[in-house]
């Protein structure tokens, strides 16, 4: 999963990125550096238990790739352009956006908009995403209109529905409704896939607080989920977490306890991202490897098979499924079968988190 870190200049994006990746993205910003990418393994503790049972050659944990974008310059911000054209292009390819909002106070660090005001900043960035999509769809509308004028009657039947979809979503965006909160049919949604609209992506707000500063909530800031649609939220102290991220684990743990901190930021952010994006993991076991596969919640077995190999979707016969807890209790798939907890499921079975699955495929 690719997650891009966005936010106002100097909100602490690179600091949060470093906290999450234990990386060393240059902080303080200002200069237009390259994009930084940090890869984090999402350790699934269930795999360690399965490793002990199967002794496979490999144990494969899922990965999250965080991107820290090159900064926007202050002139652009004063001209109210909060995302550069280059940033918009990069963001299109992300699966989710992590929106860092400054909560920490620091008289030495000027806020680009004046006072520290988390609600204003979060709304401004969400509106910027809407603006980016409006501009992209307006260009598409012009292009489709031109295409229609030049097209032969036979070609029109393909262009007209696309234009209608673009206009429908444009109308919603003009009302401030992100694409993901609009009611669209599956065919309308698929007509828009190629645009990779920014408001179609899940957004997790990271409140970057000072030490022992209370964490705001979206509700408290008057941001209703109905308007902005499926936002995740998490609070952390970027600067402190950045320091803890590069310590030895034992030492970091001692600090956490002494300071009464929660779980490491990297774990909490991962959980909120998984929840907001709607990901669950199914597991596969064997002598070669044990592995966790993140998939969208609600995915059906036939499609889940396709995450292992695209051919598996076509060749899907059935899935043998046992829950992780049942497998651990039974000690083996064979015992699970004897006890009747290893089931045979068809194409439309909805995969659950922790399902251990063996797909039977017609190759």
Ligand X SMILES: Nc1nc2c(ncn2[C@@H]2O[C@H](COP(=O)(O)OP(=O)(O)OP(=O)(O)O)[C@@H](O)[C@H]2O)c(=O)[nH]1
Give residues in contact with Mg ion (CB under 5 A).
Answer: 13-14, 29
Q: Is the dihedral of CA 123, 103, 9, 13 positive or negative?
A: negative
The residue range among 3-11, 136-144, 224-232, 307-315 that interacts with ligand X, by the rule CB under 6 A, is 3-11
Partner interacting with residue 178 (select from ligand X, Mg ion, none; CB below 5-8 Å by kind): none
Binding of ligand X by 27 (CB under 6 A): yes
Binding of ligand X by 212 (CB under 6 A): no
Binding of ligand X by 13 (CB under 6 A): yes
Q: How far is the CB of 5 from ligand X (least distance, A)?
A: 8
Cite the DSSP H helix spans in the chain. Answer: 13-21, 45-54, 74-78, 85-92, 118-150, 153-174, 186-192, 225-228, 238-245, 249-259, 265-277, 301-308, 310-314, 324-330, 333-338
Number of residues in contact with ligand X, rule: CB under 6 A? 21
Binding ligand X (rule: CB under 6 A), the pick from 12, 118, 235, 294 is 12
Q: How far is the CB of 11 from Mg ion (least distance, A)?
A: 9
Minimum CB distance to ligand X smaller for 144 or for 244:
244
- Cα separation, 153 vs 156, whole angstroms: 5
Binding ligand X (rule: CB under 6 A), the pick from 30, 219, 296, 298 is 30
Binding ligand X (rule: CB under 6 A), the pick from 62, 71, 216, 294 is 71
- Cα separation, 356 vs 292, whole angstroms: 9
Binding of ligand X by 174 (CB under 6 A): no
Binding of ligand X by 14 (CB under 6 A): yes
Are 90 and 72 in contact by the 8 Å Cβ rule? The answer is no
| Pairing mode of beta strands 2-7, 63-68 | parallel
Are 290 and 50 in contact by the 8 Å Cβ rule? The answer is yes
DSSP 339: T
Binding of ligand X by 29 (CB under 6 A): yes
Give residue 158's Cα distance to chain centre: 32
Q: What is the 3-state secondary structure (H, E, C) of 144-189?
A: HHHHHHHCCHHHHHHHHHHHHHHHHHHHHHHCCCCHHHCCCCHHHH
Binding of ligand X by 318 (CB under 6 A): no
Minimum CB distance to ligand X smaller for 48 or for 109:
109
Q: Which of residues 224-253 bind ligand X (CB under 6 A)?
A: 237-239
- Cα separation, 152 vs 8, whole angstroms: 47
Q: How far is the CB of 333 from ligand X (least distance, A)?
A: 48
Binding ligand X (rule: CB under 6 A), the pick from 119, 147, 210, 306 is 210
Q: Which residues bind ligand X (CB under 6 A)?
A: 7, 9-15, 27-30, 71, 104, 106, 109, 208, 210, 237-239
């Amino acid at each position: 999963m690719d997650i891009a870190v966005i936010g106002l200049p100097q909100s602490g994006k690179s600091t949060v990125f470093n906290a999450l990746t234990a990386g060393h993205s240059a902080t303080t910003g200002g200069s237009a550096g390259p994009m930084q990418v940090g890869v984090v393994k999402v350790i699934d503790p269930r795999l360690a238990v399965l490793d002990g049972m199967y002794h496979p050659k490999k144990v494969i944990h899922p990965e999250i790739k965080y991107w820290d974008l090159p900064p926007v310059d202050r002139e652009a911000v004063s001209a109210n352009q909060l995302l550069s054209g280059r940033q918009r292009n990069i963001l299109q390819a992300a699966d989710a956006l992590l929106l860092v909002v400054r909560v920490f106070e620091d008289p030495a660090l000027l806020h680009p908009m004046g006072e520290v005001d988390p609600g204003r900043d979060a709304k401004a960035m969400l509106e910027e995403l809407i603006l980016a999509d409006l501009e992209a769809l307006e260009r598409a509308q012009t292009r489709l209109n031109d295409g229609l004028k030049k097209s032969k009657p036979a070609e029109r039947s393909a262009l007209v529905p696309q234009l209608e979809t673009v206009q429908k979503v444009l109308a919603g965006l003009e009302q401030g409704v992100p694409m993901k909160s609009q009611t669209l049919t599956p065919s309308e949604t698929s007509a828009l896939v190629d645009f990779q609209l920014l408001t179609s992506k899940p957004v997790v707000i990271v409140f970057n607080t000072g030490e022992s500063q209370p964490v705001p909530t979206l509700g408290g800031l008057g941001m209703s989920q109905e308007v902005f649609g499926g936002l995740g939220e998490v609070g952390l102290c970027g600067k402190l977490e950045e320091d803890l991220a590069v310590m030895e684990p034992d030492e970091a743990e001692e600090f956490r306890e002494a300071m009464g901190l929660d779980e490491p930021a990297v774990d909490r952010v991962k959980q909120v991202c998984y929840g907001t994006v709607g990901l669950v993991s199914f597991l596969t076991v064997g002598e070669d490897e044990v592995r966790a596969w993140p998939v969208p919640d609600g995915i059906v077995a036939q499609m889940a098979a396709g995450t292992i190999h695209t051919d598996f979707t076509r060749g899907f016969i059935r899935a043998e499924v046992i829950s992780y807890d049942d497998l651990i209790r039974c000690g083996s798939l064979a015992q699970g079968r004897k006890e009747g907890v290893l089931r045979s499921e068809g194409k439309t079975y909805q995969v659950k988190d922790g399902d251990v699955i063996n797909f039977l495929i017609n190759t």
